A and B are shown apart, each in its own frame.
Chain A
Amino acid sequence: MKNNVNREIPDQILKDHNYEGFKTVDFGNPEIQRVAPKVTAQVGPSKVVESIKKVVSETVKDGMTISFHHHFREGDFVFNMVMREIIDAGYKDLTLAPSSLTNVMNDIVVEAIQKGTVTNITSSGMRGSLGDAVSHGALKNPVIFRSHGGRARAIEEGAVKIDVAFLGVPNADEMGNANGMNGDAAFGSLGYALIDAQFANKVVLVTDSLMPYPNTPASIKQTQVDYVVKVDKVGDPDKIGSGATRFTKDPKELQIAEMVNDVITHSPYFKDGFSFQTGSGGAALAVTRFLRNSMIENQIKASFALGGITKPTVDLLNEGLVGRIMDVQDFDKGAASSMKNDANQQEIDASWYADPANKGAMVDKLDVSILSALEIDTKFNVNVMSGSDGVIRGAIGGHQDAATSKLTIISAPLVRGRIATIVPDVTTVITPGDSIDVLVTEVGIAINPKRQDLVDTLSKVPGLPIFTIEELQQKAEKLVGKAQPLQFTDRVVALAEYRDGTLIDVIKEVKD
């Protein structure tokens, strides 16, 4: 069948994996039955086990679903320690269901696939050698990609049933009270891991810092935890988040950032009490700086900033320009270390952040979001998953979720090297054009024709060049030439879910 973003989804895939094709960005008000985890009661004085090996042998069985979080990012030691034990013990047919996969996890996942330890994967994304292996058909079953909100939904409704969650934490007490804010390997918000702690049948905390009982503040609570394992080091602090945030000097990024700021400040949403989410890229960080000046000039304060947090956003909080930071993860040390000192920087879990199957997620209250794109097409559909060669090299993250904001801005250069960013059709649709409002490039902006109100408002802004998205696409093509279409086989290697659990696209094996 063809879904509502005009993607051909093989009927066999829909049937085999029990999916419907993507229809609409409106989630509606369905009644949803959630699942609950199995709880093994215990009354002992301590849950500390001496080794990962022991806890693996007590909890993991062939065919199970195991999960991890990615808050340690490229500084993660826990994933490799646990997977090493699991591979060496000879387990088979496991489903790997981490919140996402970072580069430091690639090699061991590829090994686990080759040895038959892992036969299914669901994740926010993947890149590097793992993305390459999957795109070349290494895994028998297709990978399922979900947004952060979509993952929370899938876990809550039981589409993903986690048997054992291995959660690395920079501190914990003997009963499993833990947070992400203290310790050598502190990373700030535990946002994505909180869902696993709540819904996994077995929860194993791995920490390098055993604290006196009771350890507070407790983001993960002893009521949720089965085992605590002490190891030497859970992560490399230097690789968990970048240190000082460096503002871009790239004139192209600054030009884009300034224009994004023009769009925001001239939109009807820029008023006292507005809310926003920015990413962590160079242009997004620069937007925060321009936005700060505009807020001071116009005496406008934001009620909250949402999502993945960086130091520049924390600075806005400290200056009183932002009332609250609703923090699902922290991208740098400044953001990670400020949470424990400021009650206005609130840790939120992935469900609260972005789950559509909820009694209300924060993204539903979001006015402005600034997102990036590998590709955007003339229907405003966005690809953040497959690279210009068709190989998987990205992650959905919160892209689909934050794109439901009232004003969703994609900031992207017209071309990157010889690759056009604006194309007739994206390689993989991840976020549907229906939820994108404005595209900002260094040469000008394009407004989704569905937003005539924005066309009317922004047309009056002096010095803001407005094009149709077709015009921008043609400008890009004139610069780089017409690309030859990528070649794929018929075999589906990955499924991309929309946040509501329908299929928005499939990714096929690349032909080399």
Chain B
Amino acid sequence: MEIKKTAMAGTLESSDLQIMLSQGTKGIEFDLTSDVAKQFGDDIKATIKAVLDAFGIDNVLVKVVDKGALTPVIKARAITAAQRALDIADQPQWEVL
């Protein structure tokens, strides 16, 4: 599935993460900026990918600026961005959550 519109969630505060989803054509593509990319880069991508998979999003550009967020925060920001991008923020897919 492709997203309907570009959407963003999160802030640039420390321990938060900002994620932007925009139209993509070549599967799930990541652009990750993080001070902990060496230690947790794969982990951050896997966490976000799992959320996107649950929403059925498979063509998307994912721009992430991570400020050392813990996994639950990453997941929450990804879910919010996905709902906004699919224009379903008013009718959340509870089964995905």
Contact = CB atoms under 8 A, between A and B. Distances in A.
Contact of A483 (B35, B39, B67, B70): B39
B68 A484 contact: no
Contacts of B69: 418
A480 B42 contact: no
Interface string B10-51: 000011000000000000000000011011111100000000
Interface string B71-84: 10000000000000
Contact of A419 (B42, B43, B68): B68
A45 interface: no
A389 B42 CA distance: 15
Nearest to A510: B38
Contacts of B42: 484
Contact of B70 (A416, A418, A487): A418
Contacts, number: 44
A417 B14 contact: yes
B2 to A, nearest CB: 30
Interface residues of B, number: 15
Nearest to A484: B39
A418 B38 contact: no
A167 to B, nearest CB: 37
B19 to A, nearest CB: 16
Interface in A322-377: none
Nearest to B38: A389
A481 interface: yes
A389 B35 CA distance: 8
Interface centre among B36, B42, B70, by most chain A C-beta atoms within 10 angstroms, is B36
B38 A419 contact: no
A388 B36 CA distance: 8
B40 A481 contact: yes
A188 interface: no
A486 B38 contact: yes
A343 B43 CA distance: 58
Contact of A479 (B40, B41, B43, B70): B70
B33 to A, nearest CB: 13
Given A417-B14, A418-B40, A480 B70 contact: yes
What 7 A-B pairs have minimum CB-CB distances, sorted nearest first? A417-B68, A483-B39, A418-B68, A418-B36, A484-B39, A389-B38, A417-B15
Interface of B: 14-15, 35-36, 38-43, 67-71
14 contacts: A389-B38, A417-B15, A417-B68, A418-B36, A418-B69, A419-B39, A480-B70, A481-B40, A481-B70, A483-B39, A483-B40, A484-B39, A484-B41, A484-B43
